Amino acid sequence: MSKWRVVALSILLVAGCSIGISKAEEKRKVELNIFMPGSTDDIAVLDNFEKDLGIKFISTRFYLDWSDSLDMGIVGRFHDHGAIPDLTWQPQINGTGVINTDVTSGKYDTYINNFALSVKALNFPIRISLAPEMNGYGWPSWEIGKNGNTPENHKLFWRYVIEKFDAIGANQVQWIWAPNVHHSLERYSYGELYPGDDYVDYVGLEGYNWGTSQKTEEWQSVWQTFEEVFDSSYNDLVALSSKNIFITEIGSTELGGDKASWILDMFDKLASKYTRVSGFTWFNMNKETDWRIDSSATSQAAFIAGVKALQEKLDSSDQDTIVGMSQGTGSGSGAVKRATRSSKSPNLEGRVIVSRANGAITSELPRGDSLTNDSGTEGSEVAPTVAGVSNINETSAGFYLGNIFAFLAVIFSLLCIRRQYEVNF
């Protein structure tokens, strides 16, 4: 064998091992996130709930209006708890929506800049869903089609705010653009509203199974499967953007069907069909209806079983995927960061985490009022127990084997070249 053939063989071996390593690293992560009322004031509320479920949620959601400054105590407690603070930033003041053109003309520059400076002072990541459900009709107060807000100036508004944060250096924000799932009164397509991948880290969806909980002259809600709530909206987002998807608000009622079966089906579909979903935030509140995970014993048991089933299906897939956040300091589940920003994530030690939001919108008609100043989770040490998830590192056995084979391939090539050299001379 000539030395050049040896070199070529060695290169092929190394390349093959490198492909295997890349394959091992490309694991899908599905985060479990939660909005937990009361946890901003008392972290024990979340802590006890996590212990009951045997789950540690990755992010916890809270809500602020544009009359609110960033509460450093809340985000600090969330972070200390081991969770990513997940903010729904609602552009409204005293229930009145902010006008997009007022923002881009500089009227709110002082407020935005001060908020960005507060974010910059953090030494950990924060997620922000800015002006979600903008495609509602009759909700929210900042909806497109109200107060002169249009699809075009919505996009300019979004870009303006992100550019302000970038200029100040608040680069650890993971921005989530999250419309409501499609509904019967929708006026604009997602494509008409989307500010572009350069200004977004994740795309999101907010949707609920209302069952038969709503019976008014304007709207009689009906039971919907997980697919009926999300399928068309998910497909449109996949076609629109290369970004991974977060379901930033989700929940189901008990009324009109079997909630436990609905939850199990949700986990099954997340594993098998909706593979671009990086996580979801459960709205754990008794509001328009009882959305809570523990609205019944069967609902809670189904959620715990669903987490375990999802883990098993992901573990057995060709992608060698995992549930939750892997050990280390990644930027989240599959975020494609904009080039102008970098971020780091807390060490979540391979734990599954759930974060949930404080507002609920369905695929039919709005819930009505949006929640204000009710925050998500805060921080304290939580036992690192995980339902159905051991401390699985993103770097799998395949990764280590790939490294070993690559090393052996290099040694092999060097020995062969040396032998060829000795023969020739």
> CA gyration radius for the chain?
24
The strand pair at 322-323 and 126-130 is best described as unpaired
- Comparing 1-10, 95-104, 124-133, 192-201, the range with the smallest average pLDDT is 1-10
Residue 153 has pLDDT above 50, yes or no: yes
The pair phi, psi for residue 78, each rounded to 5°, is -60, -50
In this predicted structure, what is the pLDDT of residue 217? 87
Q: Residue 425: pLDDT band by 50, 70, 90 thresholds?
A: very low
Q: Residue 369: pLDDT band by 50, 70, 90 thresholds?
A: very low
Cis peptide before 140 (omega within 30 of 0): yes
- Widest CA span in the chain: 95
In this predicted structure, what is the pLDDT of residue 46? 94
> Which residue in 85, 274, 60, 63 sits closest to 174, CA to CA?
85
In this predicted structure, what is the pLDDT of residue 138? 92
pTM here is: 0.76
In this predicted structure, what is the pLDDT of residue 348? 31
Q: Residue 404: pLDDT band by 50, 70, 90 thresholds?
A: low
> Which residue in 193, 229, 213, 219 sits closest to 290, CA to CA?
213
Class of domain 28-395 as given by CATH: alpha beta
- Which of 159-168, 360-369, 379-388 has maximum average pLDDT? 159-168
Q: CA 183 → CA 36, 138, 243, distances in Å?
A: 26, 12, 23
The model's pLDDT over 290-347, given as tens digits with 9 standing for 90+, comes to 999 999 999 999 999 999 999 998 888 754 344 443 323 334 454 445 554 433 333 3
Ordered by start, the domain boundaries in the chain are: 1-27+399-425, 28-395
114: CB partners within 8 A, 6+ apart: 69
Residue 121 burial (10 A CB sphere; 0-12, 13-18, 19+): exposed
Share the mean pLDDT of the chain. Answer: 79
